[in-house]
Amino acid sequence: MTFRDPLNIVVLVSGTGTLLQSLIDHQGSAYRIVRVVADKDCPALERAGRAGIEALTVPLEGDRDSWNVRLADTVEAAAPDYVVSAGFMKILGAPFLDRFGARTVNTHPALLPSFPGAHAVRDALAYGVKVTGSTVHFVDAGVDTGPIIAQKPVEVVDGEDEAELHERIKKVERRLIVSVLEGFHRAGASPD
């Protein structure tokens, strides 16, 4: 597979978009963001707009398979080398993954395989772990189960709440996802 230089990236978002902001701020010789796609109206779209990046919304309407096809069509139209799920809060299904699974990466706020799912920070605190962290992995059909690319630990501070711990993890995530893309670029990486 041949990749563009810099890599062309589509970013999937659902929320505040601070990870997207880090990706925007670190664009350069390694990668550039060619489109941002959300499943709903969210502040991340405004960040894309401020950066002059095309931003589109594909709301989950109708059945899930047809939404996955519409999402994949919207991504494919931007012809990305890689897709980054950066705070995208929907599970990607087979119609999307058949086309992009081998080159879609997700960032998750825990050290997988511990604490998959939408409440990773809350679950880690509830379990009482002393170390959690951030994982960047390829997306497969499971929930946060795909092959791990990179991880960084974050120590849990006694007495901190979910929001405080999540913010400290997100500081790590913001650097880790950028370094993974820079690594893909350096390696001329092929997901094959």
Which residues are tagged catalytic?
Answer: 108
67 token code pair: 């939404």
Question: Using CA atoms, how far apart are residues 147 and 137, in angstroms rounded to an integer?
Answer: 6
Residue 145 as a binder of ligand GRF (CB under 6 A): the answer is: no
Which residues are documented as binding site for (6R)-10-formyltetrahydrofolate?
64, 89-92, 106
Binding-site size, ligand GRF (CB under 6 A): 14
Q: How far is the CB of 22 from ligand GRF (least distance, A)?
A: 8
Least distance from C-beta 3 to ligand GRF, angstroms? 25
Q: What is the 3-state secondary structure (H, E, C) of the chain?
A: CCCCCCEEEEEEECCCCHHHHHHHHCCCCCEEEEEEEECCCCHHHHHHHHCCCCEEECCCCCCHHHHHHHHHHHHHCCCCCEEEECCCCCCCCHHHHHHHHHHEEEEECCCCCCCCCCCHHHHHHHHCCCEEEEEEEECCCCCCCCCEEEEEEEECCCCCCHHHHHHHHHHHHHHHHHHHHHHHHHHCCCCC
Q: Residue 68 or 107: which CB sits closer to ligand GRF?
A: 107
Among 9, 17, 38, 137, binds ligand GRF (CB under 6 A): 17
- Residue 103 or 108 with smaller CB distance to ligand GRF: 108
Q: Which residue of 23, 137, 173, 178 would you call a contact of ligand GRF, by CB under 6 A?
A: 173
Q: Are 76 and 4 in contact (CB under 8 A)?
A: no
Do 62 and 37 form a contact (C-beta atoms < 8 A)? no
Rank residues 81 and 173 by Cβ distance to ligand GRF and give the closer one.
Answer: 173
Q: How far is the CB of 174 from ligand GRF (least distance, A)?
A: 8
Of 18, 68, 104, 132, which lies in the binding site for ligand GRF, with binding defined by CB under 6 A?
Answer: 18
Binding-residue pattern over the window 97 to 136 for ligand GRF, x denoting contact by CB under 6 A: ----------xxx---------------------------
Q: Which residues bind ligand GRF (CB under 6 A)?
A: 15-20, 44, 86-87, 107-109, 170, 173
